[in-house]
Structure 1
Amino acid sequence: MSETLADAADGADVRTAHQDLHSEEGALRGEHPGRARNPVIKVADLAWLEFEKPDLDRAEVFARDFGFGVAARTPGALWLRGTFAGSPCMVIRRGRTSRFIGPAFRASERSDLEHLARVTGTSVRPVDVPGGGQTVDLLDPSGFPVRVVHCGEELPALPEQQPLLLNFGTDHRRVNATQRPPREPSRIQRLGHVVLETRVFAQALDWYLDTLGMIVSDFLFLDGQRDRGPTMAFIRCDRGSLAVDHHTLAMHLGPGTGYVHSAYQVTDLDTIAAGGEYLKERGYRRSWGIGRHIQGSQLFDYWRDPDHFMLEHFADGDLFSCDTEPGWAPMSTSGLAQWGPPATRDFLGASPSPQRVRDVIQALRGDNEMDPARLVGLLKAMHS
């Protein structure tokens, strides 16, 4: 049993001081503590996501329309970036099919790579990121390739879209001036998070906590099945007293194993809305939005790219330091947003397809955490 699960099982560290900062309740006695006692390293952030696509020209057109900048382009790869200084936030490599490869996380220190490689029996190798860098390549329990990287040079910052000056009640900061946000792409500032589906949720959760030192902000559980443990986790990096994104990685139990969506920070609500109009005029399809989430609180707007990958514009997300304990809440569709239109079937992945049917059959026959009760619970949550 891993240290993470052992901590939960012995009940020694009961969450008795939950402050209701972000959830109606905290953990019950013996539930998962949401962090590992002695992780191998503590990653600092997501660095980038890796994809393969056959048509890099088409991928670049959408990327620019969505608000990415191009950090580098070669015959075999397209590196995308935000306006903030740092690493690129996505690489799309030329491949025979469109598929998600995996995430790359940023190591806090170069020495973390050496330590991680020793503990995991791997090696430190060069990585082909613009500006150079090094990587340790791992495989998580779901089968996703996971890179932990340290970059040699940072990309310089680019010009920002400035937030609009707003009037509030009697606080009049804009006088004799009109408000006309331009109809242009929502300029991406940085990569915020990635969401993954897995059939081995508990194993994958403990791997990210034990190996990369991440900690849980919120757990979701299925109605009537809380005693079986959570089925979704919103996971952040542990930067001590420094407040960071509510979630850098989110995972949920499901019949498939794969990418769900990724999220990219933009300036504000007007940037989200004006950028959405720009995308709509160019024939792209909104999946769900605009609204405000509950877990994480961020403003959101979800779109599909030409290869059917889902990407999110977001702004104004929660920031937690290491002393905020995990919240616990039931999983439900109605619990996805504070306000906004109802979640669509497309966003929920509820539209039947031959691949989804195959996923369900394979999951129920396989050695994993999916069983008929879990499947029924997930279907109920989707309609609740």
Structure 2
Amino acid sequence: MEGAHVGLHSERGPLRGEHPGRSRDPVIKVRDLAWLEFEKTNLLRAETFARDFGFGVVVRARDALYLRGTLPGPPCVVVRRGPRSRFAGLAFQAAAAEDLTRLARATGAEVRELDDLGGGQVVDLRDPSGFPVRVVHGVAELPALPEQPVLAMNVGLHRGRINATQRPAPEPARVQRLGHVVVETRWFERALGWYLDTLGMIVSDFLFLDDQRHRGPTMAFIRCDRGGEPADHHTLAMHLGPGVGYVHSAYQVADMDAVAAGGEYLAGRGYRRVWGIGRHIQGSQIFDYWRDPDHLMVEHFADGDLFDCTVEPGWAPMSATGLGPVSEVDQVGGSLPR
């Protein structure tokens, strides 16, 4: 158990008797995040920021905005008109239609047809923190869009660019896909258990307060269990805190040049950078954080870790350097504190 993490992504592996980071018999195993849902008071303003951040717009209706990345798949963000701007829930992709039936039977929910997003079926749940959680299957995939060019790099003695210059285009970073969402919860242990037992997710890394490891973890980075197929280091992260709400969501772009040039474009449009450019410890992503006009935090990232199911949880003390801005949350049922 501990050997899988020596020199990999944690200073120390688990101690005897600590949380195993996975369920022995989960109800199902989700494959990935499908999309996030938000409510915003001003959809025109939301669309302007979305385009500047690098999303493609699928549909702009009177009361809804559907956003996508360049990779094939369903829309990765759904924004509906609401009385206040807030995070409204998350949706996961089931591996098979039969998983929805199994999930509905285990939770007392029902499988129903989706009334938008190109069809498919959905089971609607709530996690122990109160977040709406949808599990979907059969949603129509959008075709791929053109990707942002990845620039050839001269690295040490590997010189792939001769007699040519580098000129990243002054344009938004092109979002490729939704990567992860981070939330704060008062009910950390219950919520963690629910995602492991109900959706079959597994922990990549636990964090604990300095000198208080014996009290258990206070943050978990959780990935989807795809067996031998690698998955993002974390699809969902949650930390214990006094509030319950959204912290940030992260969207993959092509490379570090896309992160940097996309950030320059956003700054030139008057948006506020929160943190970055930098590289995370847990997950290793190159990152850049921004706030949208509704004060919700979003992240561009590139070059994240990928783990298959054989990697056991790492354990490390919390540090501000590794985590960044995690103190402000969009309260469930309320708006982000100003």
Fold match (TM-score > 0.5): yes
- CA drift of 1:334 comes to 2.8
Conserved 8 A contact 1:87-1:151: no
Question: Does 2:327 correspond to 1:349?
Answer: yes
In structure 2, the residue matched to 1:201 is 188
In structure 1, the residue matched to 2:278 is 291
Q: Distance in 1 between matches of 2:5 and 2:85?
A: 44
User: In the alignment, which of 215, 227, 234 is matched to residue 214 of structure 2?
Assistant: 227
Greater relative CO (CA pairs within 8 A, separation 6+): 2
- CA drift of 1:350 comes to 7.0
Conserved 8 A contact 2:94-2:137: yes
Q: Distance in 2 between matches of 1:170 and 1:228?
A: 48
Q: Distance in 1 between matches of 2:12 and 2:118?
A: 45
User: In the alignment, which of 118, 127, 131 is matched to residue 144 of structure 1?
Assistant: 131
Question: Does 2:145 correspond to 1:167?
Answer: no
Deviations 1:155-202 (A, max 9, x none): 000000021011122222111111100110000000000000000000
Q: Distance in 2 between matches of 1:171 and 1:332?
A: 35
Alignment of 1:201-350 (within 5 A): 201-336=188-323, 343=324, 347-349=325-327
Q: Distance in 2 between matches of 1:289 and 1:181?
A: 19
Q: 2:122 is paired with a residue of what secondary structure?
A: strand
- CA drift of 1:132 comes to 1.3
Conserved 8 A contact 2:74-2:139: no
Q: Distance in 2 between matches of 1:18 and 1:262?
A: 28
In structure 2, the residue matched to 1:125 is 112
Q: How many residues align?
A: 330
Question: Does 2:67 correspond to 1:72?
Answer: no
Structure 1: tracts of 5 or more residues without a match? 1-14, 337-342, 360-384
- CA drift of 1:116 comes to 0.5
Conserved 8 A contact 1:71-1:130: no
CA shift in 2, pair 1:178/1:59, >3 Å: same
In structure 2, the residue matched to 1:111 is 98
Structure 2: tracts of 5 or more residues without a match? none
Q: 1:17 is paired with a residue of what secondary structure?
A: helix
Conserved 8 A contact 2:247-2:326: no
Aligned-partner residue type, residue 31 of structure 1: E
- CA drift of 1:348 comes to 4.0
Q: Distance in 2 between matches of 1:225 and 1:169?
A: 43
Q: Distance in 2 between matches of 1:116 and 1:349?
A: 33
Question: Does 2:152 correspond to 1:187?
Answer: no
User: Going by fraction, where is helix more abundant, 1 or 2?
Assistant: 1
- CA drift of 1:212 comes to 0.1
In structure 2, the residue matched to 1:17 is 3
Give the percent of matched residue pairs that are identical in Structure 1 and Structure 2. Answer: 70
Aligned-partner residue type, residue 17 of structure 1: G
Aligned-partner residue type, residue 65 of structure 1: D
Q: Distance in 2 between matches of 1:277 and 1:52?
A: 27
Deviations 1:240-268 (A, max 9, x none): 00011000000000000000000000000
